[in-house]
Structure 1
Amino acid sequence: MRVLVLGGDGYLGWATALYLSQCGHDVAVADNFVRRQYDFELGADSLVPIESLQVRTAAWRELTGKSIEMFVGDLTDADFTYQMIKDFRPESVVHFAEQRAAPYSMIDRKHAVYTQVNNVVGTLNLLYAINEIDRDIHLVKLGTMGEYGTPNIDIEEGWLELEHKGRTDRVLFPKRPGSFYHLSKVHDSHNMEFACRIWGLRATDLNQGVVYGQQTAETMLDDRLATRFDYDAVFGTVLNRFVVQAVLGHPLTVYGSGGQTRGIIDIRDTVRCIQLACENPADPGEFRVFNQMTESMSVLDIARTVAECYPGEVTIDHLENPRVEYEQHYYNVTHSGLVELGLEPHLLSDTLITSLFDIAKRYGDRANLETMRPGVDWRGTGGQP
């Protein structure tokens, strides 16, 4: 299968491209490298050093004999997007190419507008390109569990069977996102559903939980193939931050009470989910939704797990929560679709955390402690004109 991975220079995009290539698919990647520019802007960096995309693809070819084609450009440029689809002629497009951080989208008006334009316009250009060039292309789009928010009912997989005043219907599950980033993903989902319903496109929306882990079998082949390890307060995941803090002897910083519960998933399961979605495409006209997570944990439970697994003294600090969110809430998510397709989940384990400790120890001298302190206030107390 010919698979085009958009955002192929990023944390998940790169790991996914390698995994699909190793599985025997003909893979190309596209990126505009803006994720690296965010690091310059924020004064942050991946804890694990990463090579350029050119070095990475060359190393993969050297080690495996498999080639990964590269496209450099921006999805908000419609001409580039159309030409890329025409040149590569993919059977599946895996779409990671969006600004992915909730805190980044909440910095100020400028960052909120950028996030919405970049994400929504880029995806809309892609939908039009698929519609006008080849409607049989299957779009596999990374969404987020954050689209749902924390409703006081069970979260179904994208759709809700509704009975109202004696009549029934099947509607998209109600969304209550918690940031302008998550809101952009809601807009994407609605645009994709509309395109499937009106144009007959086929699309899978993967509402993914928080991803943990930095290594896959493919990235471990050579240091040149490493993917990102983000630990800062803007782009880093909470587990990564806790691991780095534990290794450096600093308190684990929990926002508020830590009762916020989220779906989580191992990076090895993420790449497997993408493979399953590509190899089992949605039908023409179908907008399919999978909740891509394997278990759920509260932030405080994640901190306690890290503290229990680390072979040294670890303390936990509770900071004032800069986000506007429920710190205690109901959270029960249906996530059976990918398991039915063949996913055998890895669950958060001592073994995985131990490997993350080893990574943090190896590269601990690269850590910037200042970037781990929360500096974005959801209440919008500041901003650029």
Structure 2
Amino acid sequence: MQCSTMQQQKLAGRREAKAAAQKACAGVRVAGASARVPVSTVRQATSSVRAASRATSVKVQATATVEKATAPAGSLSSNGAGTRVMIIGGDGYCGWATALHLSARGYEVCIVDNLCRRQFDLQLGLDTLTPIATIHDRVRRWGEVSGKHISLQIGDICDWEFLSQAFTSFKPNHVVHFGEQRSAPYSMIDRQKAVFTQHNNVIGTINVLFAIKELQPDCHMVKLGTMGEYGTPNIDIEEGYITINHNGRTDTLPYPKQGNSFYHLSKIHDSTNMLFTCKAWKIAATDLNQGVVYGVRTDETMADPLLLNRYDYDGIFGTALNRFVVQAAVGHPLTVYGKGGQTRGFLDIRDTVRCIQLAIDNPAPKGEMRVYNQFTEQFSVNQLAEIVEREGKKLGLNVEVTKVPNPRVELEEHYYNAKCTKLRDLGLQPHLLADSMIDSLLEFAVTYKDRVRHELIKPAVDWRKTGVKVNTMGAAVAR
């Protein structure tokens, strides 16, 4: 009964916070996602919702308490006290939500970020659907709302001097590595972006591995990989490794990788480097091959307008479902690439943060690189479009679906059956798309639809046309 009552209070608090956030953020437009939200403007706008924010902060802390009291053995623990977690890329979409999730549950968190994701928006003329605050204001407001402190270090992990100083000063027990250029289309804009993606991702990861070896040898590494490393083979996709019988002999080997962009290839290089260093240096690592993430709400990011997470809907950083939802909200046809049979694994942002916590609470032994496939459901692009069309019409939206030429080089109809049992075995209880579409996506997109820039919706980066000429001006807006 106590848990049921708490859940009801939590839902009521979310409704209050949602209404308050909508009122406070109405009309606030950021000129580029990296632009600074005027603190004076937001603070003045939010003066009427201080009480709601304080109530929400109480609920955030209460949620962790209830989780701890009701969690079965081996499942998600809420007591992270004394555990030091460095989150590289903690200002990004998944990183920010994870930092708050862990901080609320008692982990001591340090965000390390060079803020390049914000620079990409300025560089390409993009914008997040939501008006996000600076990382400094985000961290400061989290402390006020939750009573928890998050450390912040701004710098580039490709700079060894900076990274070694960050490791030495914070001394992490776990390092969660989100700090990579994470867009396949961005990596295919031109030669310059392809080289940047490979250098930033591969060299940054190697530096983190050396930092663990030399400075914190007992530190456990949790690395965000991608299901895109596997490609779309015509056999079942196992979790990281596959046992092969060949010419009368048997061996268990890393599952074959088939990246379809310079971004995906960089992630494959990361996995190979991690596997080698686990063997050679006895590093403990967990490689999380994550599916496509959707949604924007977690209990923590919705606790105050200044904590709001980013939401990408453009053709470069916007993932399929997030793009479709925004298109439905503004009356733009849903842009299905090619035949629409492309099938991938998907998960809610709320499950992303839980998976990270599970990986931390159940670390790999030294000398081992565990691999978990991190997704909860599989959908084709056509299935996603059908779901958004159906649910959008329930809200009175005029939703249409259109097929556009596929800018990517990929199979558009294929077999796809990926395994994803290990995280569930550790206690993950997934949020399924059917249960969260209205609450987490469509209504949210409708709230912020006035911020949508229609010219950014269509894909502008064509895999076949990637060249040596810098294509910054033509990357975001299709001609």
Pairs within 5 Å for 1:223-302:
223-302=305-384
1:352 equivalent in structure 2: 437
Distance in 1, Cα, partners of 2:335 & 2:151: 41
Query: Could you tell me whether the CA contact under 8 Å between 1:204 and 1:288 is conserved in 2?
Result: yes
Q: Matched residue of 1:220: which SS?
A: coil
- The answer on 1:318 being equivalent to 2:403 is yes
Q: Matched residue of 1:232: which SS?
A: coil
CA deviation map 1:215-269 (0-9, x unaligned): 1010111111011100000001111111111111111010001100000000000
Distance in 1, Cα, partners of 2:125 & 2:456: 8
Q: Matched residue of 2:86: which SS?
A: strand
Indicate the structure (1 or 2) with the bigger Cα radius of gyration. 2
Q: 2:147 aligns with which of 61, 65, 87?
A: 65
Letter in 2 for 1:98: E
2:412 equivalent in structure 1: 327
Letter in 2 for 1:163: N
Letter in 1 for 2:99: A
Pairs within 5 Å for 1:185-224:
185-224=267-306
Distance in 1, Cα, partners of 2:350 & 2:199: 31
What's the CA shift for 1:380? Answer: 2.9
Across the aligned residues of Structure 1 and Structure 2, the Cα RMSD in angstroms comes to 1.0
Q: 1:32 aligns with which of 99, 114, 121?
A: 114
Q: 2:129 aligns with which of 36, 39, 47?
A: 47
Distance in 2, Cα, partners of 1:248 & 1:279: 41
CA deviation map 1:12-52 (0-9, x unaligned): 10000000011110111010000001001111111001001
Letter in 2 for 1:35: R
Q: Matched residue of 2:412: which SS?
A: coil
**Hey, which bits of structure 1, 4+ residues long, moved more than 3 A?**
none
Distance in 2, Cα, partners of 1:8 & 1:208: 17
2:10 equivalent in structure 1: none
Q: 1:367 aligns with which of 441, 452, 458?
A: 452
Distance in 2, Cα, partners of 1:99 & 1:382: 19
Query: Could you tell me whether the CA contact under 8 Å between 2:238 and 2:419 is conserved in 1?
Result: yes
Q: 2:230 aligns with which of 125, 148, 166?
A: 148
CA deviation map 1:53-99 (0-9, x unaligned): 11011111001110000011001101111111111000000000000
Q: Matched residue of 1:19: which SS?
A: helix
Q: Matched residue of 2:164: which SS?
A: helix
Query: Could you tell me whether the CA contact under 8 Å between 1:261 and 1:299 is conserved in 2?
Result: yes
Letter in 1 for 2:147: G
91-100 or 361-370, which deviates more: 361-370
Distance in 2, Cα, partners of 1:45 & 1:201: 39
What's the CA shift for 1:357? Answer: 1.8
What's the CA shift for 1:381? Answer: 5.0
Query: Could you tell me whether the CA contact under 8 Å between 2:274 and 2:285 is conserved in 1?
Result: yes
CA deviation map 1:304-328 (0-9, x unaligned): 1000001222110000001000000
2:179 equivalent in structure 1: 97
Query: Could you tell me whether the CA contact under 8 Å between 2:187 and 2:261 is conserved in 1?
Result: yes
Query: Could you tell me whether the CA contact under 8 Å between 2:275 and 2:369 is conserved in 1?
Result: yes
Relative contact order, higher structure (CA 8 A, sep 6+): 1
Letter in 2 for 1:111: K
Change (3 A) 1:343 1:351: closer
Q: Matched residue of 2:370: which SS?
A: strand
Long gaps (5+) in structure 2: 1-82, 471-479
What's the CA shift for 1:135? Answer: 1.4
375-384 or 318-327, which deviates more: 375-384
Distance in 2, Cα, partners of 1:261 & 1:354: 24
Query: Could you tell me whether the CA contact under 8 Å between 2:202 and 2:270 is conserved in 1?
Result: yes
What TM-score do you get using the length of structure 2 for normalisation?
0.79
Identity %: 58
CA deviation map 1:271-328 (0-9, x unaligned): 0000000011000000000000001000110011000001222110000001000000
Query: Could you tell me whether the CA contact under 8 Å between 2:391 and 2:437 is conserved in 1?
Result: no
Query: Could you tell me whether the CA contact under 8 Å between 1:306 and 1:353 is conserved in 2?
Result: no
What's the CA shift for 1:352? Answer: 2.8
Distance in 2, Cα, partners of 1:60 & 1:33: 18
What's the CA shift for 1:354? Answer: 4.1
Kindly indicate which of the two structures has a greater share of residues assigned to helix. Answer: 2
Q: Matched residue of 2:133: which SS?
A: coil
Query: Could you tell me whether the CA contact under 8 Å between 1:309 and 1:354 is conserved in 2?
Result: no
Query: Could you tell me whether the CA contact under 8 Å between 2:189 and 2:466 is conserved in 1?
Result: no
Letter in 2 for 1:282: A
Distance in 2, Cα, partners of 1:211 & 1:159: 23
Query: Could you tell me whether the CA contact under 8 Å between 2:296 and 2:440 is conserved in 1?
Result: no
2:388 equivalent in structure 1: 306
Distance in 2, Cα, partners of 1:202 & 1:261: 32
What's the CA shift for 1:382? Answer: 3.7
Query: Could you tell me whether the CA contact under 8 Å between 2:284 and 2:367 is conserved in 1?
Result: yes
What's the CA shift for 1:383? Answer: 3.4
Q: Matched residue of 2:302: which SS?
A: helix
Q: Matched residue of 2:256: which SS?
A: coil
Query: Could you tell me whether the CA contact under 8 Å between 1:4 and 1:27 is conserved in 2?
Result: yes
2:213 equivalent in structure 1: 131
Distance in 2, Cα, partners of 1:88 & 1:381: 41
CA deviation map 1:127-158 (0-9, x unaligned): 00110112110000000000000000000000
What's the CA shift for 1:351? Answer: 3.6
What's the CA shift for 1:114? Answer: 0.4
